[in-house]
Structure 1
Amino acid sequence: MRHAVVMIHGMGEQIPMETLTSFVDATWTTDLSLVGEDRKDVNTGEQRTENASWGKPDQRNRSFELRRIATEKAKTGVYTDFYEFYWAHLITGNTWDHVAPWLTGLVLRNPFKRVPAAVRFAWCVMAMVTAILVYLAVVNIWNVSNDIAPGPRTSFVLALAALAGGYVLNTLIIPRLGDVARYIKASPPNVANRQKIRSNGVELLETLMHAKKTKIDRKGNPYEVYIYDRIIVASHSLGTIVAYDILTHTFGRNNRDYDAEKMAKTPAQPHREALEKAIQTASLPDNDPAQTILDIEDFQALQDAARAELNATGNRWIISDFVTMGSPLTHAEFLMAYDKDGLRADQAKRILPTCPPVLEWDERSDKSHFTYRRGKLDGIKVPDNDDGTKPAFESHPRIPHHAAMFAYTRWSNLFSKHRFVLKGDLVSGPVADQFALQGEGGPIKGVKDIPVLPDLDHNGQPASGMKRGWVTHNNYWNAKAQSELRTPLDENGKKAAPHHIQKLRAALRLGKKV
């Protein structure tokens, strides 16, 4: 059994394989529980201190700058291949002209209607700094036009401010925020870049889903089998938006794939039925709060089971997990739509998939589903129930609509709650609310939001023994970034991985047969 992990990096001038290498170190190399400390090191034959992996050339990524990182076999019998989807080279040459219109649009908006409460303080700081810069520019122009020479102290302060501003502008804002501005905003100069990034990402995922190898049976006859049983998509920062888009388009191109013979052999889809029933129940008016809250653990277990049923029909959607870290998707209404109403409208139209997916009414079953029946499926005979009665219409085999990917793919989101801009991670936050299904009884949340750096208690404050760090955006797989007040120990009294690394490993489920 072999799994694939696709890592999608964030904004900035990233170097190929740097992100992936450090990610593999944190999630595979140093996690001895995956292989077992009692097994000898496969490279040296000595006592194991880390798990082995190797960088191999691979044509699936279609770049000589990138390599597949292949691991040794886990104790569960699973091999894992790590890939990096590298896209930084497709957005280069950022200039102020790329950034200025986007920043202007962020500043010149109603802060009470078009700025989420979580970033309103940061917006106020940005607006204040902008106002000060505009004021200084106006004063300078006035002085020059009236031949008023500033004093030596004023000249020194203005020169120092200009140098600092130029440094920040050229090393932070333009290279990094330029990526955000050019990917987020679908203006004509950006469309080609967006298209290339997304098409390359879709091509990689489809290549991995359908990758095959040739084996020889006992009689010496060759036959083909699929290489991967499961794919995990992990992403960071702006890469989470890129990943979300890629997954959306990949599922929309593959949701209707099935094999009629396989479908006829396994027409029953009880886990899909159970998943739809859970969402249908949660969608009811809120007369019983206990029934309108989706249990996230049960929901994610049903997602795994429903995906197995989908695969049994011949559909190769094997992307089991979507793991986001430091995701700006928490600000989707701020970045991906005009406002919150615009975001909800796009979600209802299935332009932006929700988790759980949007349901549609089926008059034949008299219920709402994220699946539908195709005409070709009407020829598949569904066996009668054990008591001889005909099965309910919703029990017949069904196909997911194009925006139902989160019926089959679990979404886990690691975030670091920010405070006063520089504490924690301003970019990140929970995403379950933003991408919830809007039911009659209220929002139905299917994303597992996981607070890290630090863990949070039920009041949203750092849990006991935790502290909030400074600017944690790049620390989600950095084992040296400690949020604990002291080094944690495992059950054997040995030094344990930090809390955020443990949560990341749990979300990825490396080596798990799911």
Structure 2
Amino acid sequence: MEKPTSKKQAVIIIHGIGNQYPMETAKEFVENIKEDSDILYSSPDREANYFETRRLSLSQKKTDFYEFYWANLISEPKLSELYFWVLKLLFCKKPSSRVQLLVWSIRILTLSLLFTFGYIVFIDIQNFEKEGYLTFTHSGIFALVSFVLLKFIVPIINSKAAQTVGDAVKYLTPSPQNIESRYKIRKKGIQLLTKLHEKTDEDGQPLYQRIIIVGHSLGSVVAYDLITNLWHEYMYEYHPDEFPAAQPILEEMTALINQSHQQKEQTFPIEQFRELQKKLFKEIKKLKNPWLISDFISIGSPLCHGNYILTKNFEEFDKKTNYREYPLCPPKIEVKKEKNAIVKDYDNAISFSANLVLNNKGIRDKKPMRFINHNSQFSFIQWTNIYFQNDFVGGELNEFFGKGIQNVALKANGNWIKRNLPFFSHTNYWSKSQQHSIDEILKQIF
């Protein structure tokens, strides 16, 4: 988006799963992406309402970095919840295309091990019936191995799994026992973003020109939910200087989305779309809407698995996008009823006409203008998605969330394990060894 001039910009970093400590992710992120000549300043953070978090700033750039810390707002799941969630993903649901080969490999390996163990027990029983003695399953070696596994190894695995995957279990499962945690996380995130929108300089003007949200791993899902819910609070907040309010870029964006929908066979014009997103963000600001979020950067995002992690199946996921519960990029076109049939409403594809209510010296006045739909945030928010090719937590997002997302696929640097084994590059996106990944992040921030 447009680079800041006199005003600052704010970057919100949202950490992923794991036993995270406050500012651990944010400090590592900023320290690794900053230039060597830049000085990092740490100041009290009065926005997040935590004494544990800080506002980080750079001496040579007008940018403040905040961490949205949410690890303390979610509890570890019970082992029954954890195992049920993992078993459901591995054996009950159709895997996403990103992990299809991996999941089927795990399924085959697991069934092979169970079959092998069952076969050994079966042979052992046959030997007992024929020869009168037991071998493997009643040997000291089997008993010793079983004791070590159950007494030491399994508890360690359970504890580590609960501290890492447990966050995903609790946040991605909207069961009654998890609703409170999901609500607290979203409420806290929206409070932070609202305070940053309202933060002013010494002249009473907005301190920040724009806000960039960076979400890593499960943090990208949290970020997506915050963007989804926060726009509802700002979609009517316009204060244009004159009427009728000029909205030519909104018309251009609507035309592009309509055209791309009607000509499905053609390649989506992503460069043209992203350029219009920049312009539409400026148009919204020109009409004095206080909205500031211009960019969303998802890193190693599990959103690439779509319905595999968010809903029961693709049919439910598709319904939620049709009901406009999940915003897409570009937005899904509005529908209307015409001659007893449901058809696409191309005139009101991503916006609708309504009255803006103004209060002028106690006198209420109504002025017509167009308002962008509650699910059309990504008509003016650029979404960039970065992932390593061997990081199967993340992946390309176009399949589920739209062709307007700019995907950046990278090969991880390092030893053979980090370059090739699944998931081993997941926590290295802003590691100094991954300069090409840092460069992609910097392109979007500065």
TM range (shorter): 0.7 to 0.9
Residue range with higher mean Cα deviation, 233-242 or 368-377: 368-377
1:409 aligns with 2:381: yes
In the TM superposition, what are the counterparts of 1:485-496 in structure 2 within 5 Å? Answer: none
The one-character-per-residue Cα deviations of 1:291-346 (angstroms, maximum 9, x if unpaired) are x3332222111111101111222221211110011000000110011222221111
Aligned counterpart, 1:190: 178
Distance 1:71 1:136, change over 3 A: same
- The answer to whether the aligner puts 1:91 opposite 2:80 as a matched pair is no
Read off the aligned partner of 1:10 and give its amino acid letter.
Answer: G
**Counterpart of 1:81?**
64
> Residue 399 of structure 1 corresponds to which residue in structure 2?
371
Per the alignment, residue 202 of structure 1 pairs with 190
1:297-376 equivalent positions in 2, closer than 5 A: 297-360=271-334, 367-376=347-356
For 2:12, which of 6, 9, 21 is the aligned residue? 6
Instruction: Please list the CA deviations of residues 239-288 of structure 1 after superposition, one character each: whole Å capped at 9, or x if unmatched.
Output: 111111111011122212212xx1635711122211111111111144xx
| Other-structure match for 2:52 | 65
What is the TM-score with the length of structure 1 in the denominator? 0.74
Give 1:23's aligned residue.
Answer: 29
**Mapped partners of 2:371, 2:194: distance in 1:** 19
Q: Which one-letter code corresponds to 1:96 in the other structure?
A: L
**Deviations, residues 410-467 of structure 1 (Å, cap 9, x unaligned):** 00000112xxxxxx2110100022112xxxxxxxx10000011349xxxxxxxxxxx9
What letter corresponds to residue 64 of structure 1 in structure 2?
F
Structure 1 position 72, deviation (Å): 2.0
> Where in structure 1 are there 5+ consecutive unaligned residues?
31-48, 216-223, 382-395, 418-423, 437-444, 456-466, 482-497
- Render the CA deviation track for 1:14-44: whole Å, top value 9, x for unaligned: 01111001110222x22xxxxxxxxxxxxxx
In structure 2, how many angstroms separate the alpha carbons of the residues matched to 1:376 and 1:98? Answer: 48
Asked if 1:426 corresponds to 2:426, the answer is no
Q: Percent identity?
A: 27
Q: Which of residues 160, 167, 185 in structure 1 aligns to 2:156? A: 167
- Specify which of 22, 43, 48 is matched with residue 56 of structure 1: 43
- Classify 1:137/1:15 alpha carbon distance in 2 versus 1 (closer, same or farther; 3 Å): farther
Q: How far apart, CA to CA, are the structure 2 residues paired with 1:327 and 1:376? A: 38
- The answer on 1:447 being equivalent to 2:405 is yes
Partners of 1:198 and 1:137 in 2: CA distance: 46
The residue identity in structure 2 corresponding to 1:331 is: H
**Distance change in 2, residues 1:137/1:57 (3 Å):** farther
Structure 2: distance between partners of 1:57 and 1:266: 44
Aligned twin of 1:282: 260
Q: Which residue does 2:428 correspond to in 1?
A: 475
Q: Is contact 1:280–1:368 with CA below 8 Å preserved after alignment?
A: no
Alpha-carbon spacing, 1:308–1:161, altered in 2? closer, same or farther (3 Å): same
Contact map agreement 2:356 2:369 (CA 8 A) in 1: no
Structure 2 counterpart SS, 1:252: helix
Q: 1:454 to 1:376 in 2, by over 3 A?
A: same
Q: Is the 8 A contact 1:180 1:238 kept in 2?
A: yes
Tell me which residue corresponds to 1:123. Answer: 103
- 2:361 aligns with none
Letter in 2 for 1:98: E
The answer to whether residue 242 in structure 2 is matched with residue 264 in structure 1 is yes
Any conservation in 2 of the 1:361–1:367 contact (CA below 8 Å)? no
Q: Report the CA distance shift for 1:231/1:2 in structure 2 as closer, same or farther (over 3 A).
A: same
Q: CA deviation at 1:115?
A: 1.6
Cα distance change on mapping 1:204 and 1:244 into 2, 3 Å? same
Indicate the SS of the match to 2:438.
Answer: helix
Aligned equivalents of 1:347, 1:125: Cα separation in 2: 31
Structure 2: tracts of 5 or more residues without a match: 1-6, 339-344, 359-364
| Aligned counterparts of 2:190 and 2:25: Cα–Cα separation in 1 | 20
- Calculate the TM-score normalised by the size of structure 2: 0.84
Shift of 1:68: 0.3
Contact 1:279–1:294 under 8 Å retained in 2: no
Instruction: Tell me, yes or no, if the aligned pair for 2:398 and 2:405 is still in contact at 8 Å.
Output: yes
Aligned to 1:214, the other structure's residue is in SS state coil
* Equivalent position SS for 1:22: helix
User: 1:431 is matched by which residue type in structure 2?
Assistant: L
Residues 1:247 and 1:23: Cα distance change in structure 2 (over 3 Å): same
Paired AA for residue 212 in structure 1: T
Q: Within 5 Å, give how 1:250-261 maps onto structure 2.
A: 250-259=230-239
Distance change (3 Å), C-alpha of 1:406 and 1:251: same
Question: 2:31·2:40 contact (CA, 8 Å) conserved in 1?
Answer: no
1:447-495 CA-partner distances (Å, limit 9, x unpaired) = 000011349xxxxxxxxxxx934411011111124xxxxxxxxxxxxxx
Name the residue aligned to 1:244: 224
Q: 1:135 to 1:189 in 2, by over 3 A?
A: farther
> Aligned partners of 2:120, 2:195: CA distance in 1, in Å?
58
1:107 aligns with 2:87: no
Alignment partners' CA distance in 2, 1:98 and 1:268: 53
Aligned-CA RMSD value: 2.9
Going from structure 1 to structure 2, the CA distance change for 1:400 and 1:137 (only over 3 Å counts) comes to farther
Please give the per-residue CA displacement for 1:343-398, whole angstroms capped at 9, x wherever unaligned: 111111110000011222589x96242011113479878xxxxxxxxxxxxxx841
Kept in 2: contact 1:255–1:401 (CA 8 A): yes
Q: Secondary structure at the match of 2:226?
A: helix
Contact 1:453 1:472 (C-alpha < 8 Å) held by counterparts: no
Which amino acid in the other structure matches residue 472 of structure 1?
S
C-alpha distance in 2, partners of 1:229/1:61? 19
2:251 matched residue in structure 1: 273
Is the CA contact (8 Å cut-off) linking 1:357 and 1:404 kept in structure 2? Answer: yes
